[in-house]
């Protein structure tokens, strides 16, 4: 915990960022952009790894140590990436993520992933990931590549997307995340827009959808969607890491989210190992929305109650976990480890 907040990290990836894992220039550019986030947004005084030390195959033990041993994190989502058209193993292989979760199933939750454009194969992989490896949710990416050329699909596509959502529901899964905004490598920015979330949310009201990276740079559109659809949520993954380098920018992002969507619809994610979790957690716990934004734009102030919800309680609820019971149980375990 940090302060009196239970911390449930919504995303960490055991990357295989070794340049040898990239499939051509598109994969190499994607990896370089991830490293640029690490080098640019890690604040002064914190460790910035040189490229040769960050662009490597990360061991799942390193991820666990960074998140649990070196930060005030209580639970973690181990999240794969399905970018098998850019990287030989998808960049963050789902098998590695499942193994990480199996090492500590009480504290680590496995989210699965597939490429919905693969049709029947994708549905079979979903079944395997849930029934054999305990996936509790799924994360998708809307842009695929074929010989380096982008091939997009939409979350409101009844042919490509809806069968995957129906399969998730059949498997008892009612939580789905999607990468939005933050175009990386050669990914066309229009394919990261959030326009397709309305159709997905309306067609599947019993599924909760998490818009990762709060859809940046399409924040205003995301806010309008969050307020209209009760089953849409926003993840601060990567976005929270502007908090030290660009605190004013982060305040405006968070202020808009709080104004439009409220404190119950925002969840935290560290994006480890792109960023070390601890410095952002400490900065967030001490963070306040500047008075001129509160007075001039009507943004709510970031209260301790809101911080507790964003840092862990909201994501616990989305996973169907009892907040009080989980906090008490894992809080006692963490105290015992200390």
Average confidence (pLDDT) over 138-154: 81
Domain count, the chain: 1
Helix (H), strand (E) at residue 233:
strand 232-235
- pLDDT recorded at residue 273: 96
Q: Is the pLDDT of residue 200 over 90?
A: yes
CB 70 within 8 A of CB 278: yes
Q: Judge whether 73 lies within some domain.
A: yes
Q: Judge whether 2 lies within some domain.
A: no
**How far is residue 314's CA from residue 218's CA, in Å, rounded to a whole number?**
23
Dihedral-angle region of residue 65 (phi above 0 means left; psi in -120 to 50 means alpha; beta otherwise): alpha
pLDDT band of residue 201 (cuts 50, 70, 90) is very high
Q: Judge whether 333 lies within some domain.
A: yes
Q: Judge whether 240 lies within some domain.
A: yes
At 109-133, the pLDDT tens digits run: 999 999 999 999 999 999 999 999 9
**How far is residue 67's CA from residue 76's CA, in Å, rounded to a whole number?**
8
Higher-pLDDT residue of 139 and 4 is 139
Buried residues in 217-239 as b, exposed as e (16+ CB within 10 A):
ebbebbbebbeebebbbbbbbbb
Structural domain of 276: 8-337
Q: Judge whether 291 lies within some domain.
A: yes
CATH number of 16's domain: 3.20.20.140
Q: Is the pLDDT of residue 266 over 60?
A: yes
Helix (H), strand (E) at residue 41:
helix 24-41
Dihedral-angle region of residue 76 (phi above 0 means left; psi in -120 to 50 means alpha; beta otherwise): beta
- pLDDT recorded at residue 98: 97
Q: Judge whether 1 lies within some domain.
A: no
Q: Judge whether 189 lies within some domain.
A: yes
**How far is residue 211's CA from residue 256's CA, in Å, rounded to a whole number?**
15
- pLDDT recorded at residue 148: 62
Alpha carbon distance, N-terminus to C-terminus of the chain: 12
pLDDT band of residue 336 (cuts 50, 70, 90) is low
- pLDDT recorded at residue 238: 92
At 40-63, the pLDDT tens digits run: 999 999 999 999 999 999 999 999
Average confidence (pLDDT) over 175-191: 88
- pLDDT recorded at residue 184: 81
Question: What is the pTM for the complete model shown?
Answer: 0.94
CB 217 within 8 A of CB 250: no
Average confidence (pLDDT) over 79-84: 91
Q: Which two structure tokens, joined as six digits, stand for 74?
A: 């209580």
- pLDDT recorded at residue 333: 58
Q: Judge whether 202 lies within some domain.
A: yes
Q: Is the pLDDT of residue 163 over 90?
A: yes
Q: Highest mean pLDDT range out of 2-11, 80-89, 268-277?
A: 268-277
Q: Is the pLDDT of residue 164 over 90?
A: yes
């Amino acid at each position: 915990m940090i302060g009196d907040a239970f911390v449930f990290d919504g995303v960490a990836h055991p990357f295989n960022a070794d340049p040898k894992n990239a499939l051509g220039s598109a994969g190499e550019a994607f990896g370089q952009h991830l490293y640029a986030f690490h080098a640019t947004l890690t604040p002064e005084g914190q460790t910035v790894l040189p490229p040769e030390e960050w662009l490597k195959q990360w061991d799942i033990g390193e991820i666990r140590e960074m998140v649990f041993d070196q930060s005030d994190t209580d639970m973690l989502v181990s999240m794969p990436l399905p970018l098998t058209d850019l990287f030989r193993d998808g960049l963050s292989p789902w098998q590695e993520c499942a193994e990480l979760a199996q090492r500590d199933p009480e504290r680590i939750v496995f989210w699965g992933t597939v490429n919905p454009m693969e049709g029947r194969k994708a549905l079979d992989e979903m079944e395997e990931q849930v029934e054999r490896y305990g996936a509790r949710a799924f994360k998708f990416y809307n842009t695929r590549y074929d010989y380096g050329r982008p091939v997009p699909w939409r979350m409101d596509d009844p042919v490509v997307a809806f069968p995957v959502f129906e399969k998730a529901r059949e498997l008892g899964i009612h939580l789905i995340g999607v990468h939005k905004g933050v175009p990386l490598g050669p990914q066309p920015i229009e394919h990261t827009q959030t326009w397709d979330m309305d159709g997905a949310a309306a067609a599947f009201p019993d599924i909760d959808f998490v818009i990762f990276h709060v859809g940046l740079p399409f924040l205003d559109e995301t806010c309008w969607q969050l307020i209209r659809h009760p089953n849409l949520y926003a993840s601060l993954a990567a976005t929270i890491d502007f908090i030290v380098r660009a605190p004013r920018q982060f305040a405006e992002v968070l202020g808009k989210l709080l104004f439009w969507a409220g404190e119950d619809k925002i969840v935290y994610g560290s994006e480890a190992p792109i960023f070390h979790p601890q410095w952002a957690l400490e900065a967030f716990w001490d963070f306040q929305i500047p008075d001129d934004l509160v007075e001039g734009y009507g943004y709510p102030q970031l209260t301790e109650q809101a911080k507790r919800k964003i840092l862990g309680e909201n994501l616990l609820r989305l996973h169907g976990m009892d907040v009080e019971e989980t906090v008490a149980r894992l809080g006692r375990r963490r105290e015992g480890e200390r």
